[in-house]
Structures are given as C-alpha cells and as structure tokens.
C-alpha cells in the first residue's frame, strides 16, 4: 500500500464508506481493504479533477504505460493520453460512484490484484446518475507501491 501521507493516507476515513459499497465483502480481508482504499482515493481525486492538483493526484495512481480500454471511447496507451481525455471529458462534468455490493477483489500471484465491479456516472449539472458501466482494474504491487496498469470500462448503458 502507498505510504501514509500520499493520496491514500489522506483518505483513510473514506475507506469505511467506500468499503460499504461492497456489501458482504469480508472486512478482515487486507487485500480488499487495500484495493478499496486505493480505489476510493483514486476516484475521489477523479471526482474533483477540475482542480489541477486533484487531476495530478488522480494521475499518481496510474502506471506511465497504463492501458485504458473503453468500449465507447476506444483505447489509450499511456497515463498522459488517459489524463488528457479525463481533463477534456470528465472534469467538471460528472463523478463516478461504485454501485453498492458490486466491488470484488482477487489476488494475482506475485503481481497484485484485479478489482471488478459496476459504477455509475452522475452529472454535476443535473445531479442525475444517468450512466452505468462495468469495470476491471489491474493493480500491480511493486514493493508496496500499488499502481493501476490496465483498466477496462465496458457495457456502458443508461441507468435504470
């Protein structure tokens, strides 16, 4: 896990709220706790990315060579390209929320973890959560430094 004092350390209080999004998830599972904390921190920054420092904080969770696969937006092959798209299409427009009960985390031996779930997107202007999608995030863990290396965001559809 990233050291306290990094974006993760600043958001430990968010962990309890975010972990609640995964109803029935074993609270004693340290991997689940780590990844749900990291997800909460990464997407808290994403949700506030109209502030340049929050966009950079969001960037700190991604490997420089991250691959981001978006079923309607295409593929980006770097953190720089992904952040340009985030700044252009996300910041100031909408926020991301985990759908309660959908977050799952599984270990990847000698590498890290895979996080899956569903998320919805809520427009700032209307307050309406109109979009829904599924996701898979691959996290690498190199000597306690967790980074996102691959993201799949797919099945984009209107919320019901």
The CATH number of the domain holding residue 24 is 3.10.450.50
Q: What is the DSSP string of 24-43?
A: T--TT-HHHHHHHHHHHHHH
Does a structural domain hold residue 17?
yes
Domain hosting 144: range is: 9-158
- Residue with structure tokens 């609270």? 27
Q: Is residue 151 part of a domain?
A: yes
**Cα-based angle 13, 115, 96 (whole degrees, multiple of 5):** 60
Helix, strand, coil percent content, the chain, rounded in steps of 5: 30, 40, 30
How many structural domains does the chain have?
Answer: 1
Q: Has residue 123 been placed in a domain?
A: yes
What global pTM score does this model have? 0.83
> Of 83, 99, 81, 103, nearest to 91 (Cα)?
83
Per-residue pLDDT, averaged over 73-97, amounts to 96
The answer as to whether 2 is a domain residue is no
The mean pLDDT value for 85-105 works out to 97
In a domain, 3, yes or no: no
Phi first, then psi: give them for residue 4, nearest 5 degrees. Answer: -60, 145
Q: For residue range 97-135, what is the model confidence (pLDDT) as tens digits?
A: 999 999 999 999 999 999 999 999 999 999 999 999 999
Q: What distance, in Å, lies between the first and last C-alpha atoms of the chain? A: 36
pLDDT at 160: 73
- H/E stretch holding 16 reads helix 12-19
Stretch 143-153: mean pLDDT: 97
């Amino acid at each position: 896990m990233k050291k306290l004092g990094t974006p993760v350390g600043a958001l430990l209080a968010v962990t309890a709220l975010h972990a609640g999004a995964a109803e029935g998830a074993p609270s004693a599972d340290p991997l689940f706790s780590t990844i749900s904390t990291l997800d909460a921190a990464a997407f808290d920054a994403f949700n506030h990315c109209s502030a340049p420092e929050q966009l950079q904080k969001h960037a700190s969770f991604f490997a420089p060579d991250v691959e981001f696969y978006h079923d309607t937006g295409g593929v980006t092959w770097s953190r720089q390209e992904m952040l340009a798209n985030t700044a252009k299409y996300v910041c100031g427009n909408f926020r991301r929320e985990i759908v309660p009960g959908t977050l799952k985390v599984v270990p990847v031996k000698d590498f890290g973890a895979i996080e899956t779930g569903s998320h919805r997107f809520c427009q700032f202007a209307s307050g309406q959560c109109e979009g829904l999608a599924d996701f898979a995030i691959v996290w690498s863990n190199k000597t306690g430094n967790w980074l996102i290396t691959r993201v799949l965001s797919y099945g984009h559809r209107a919320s019901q």
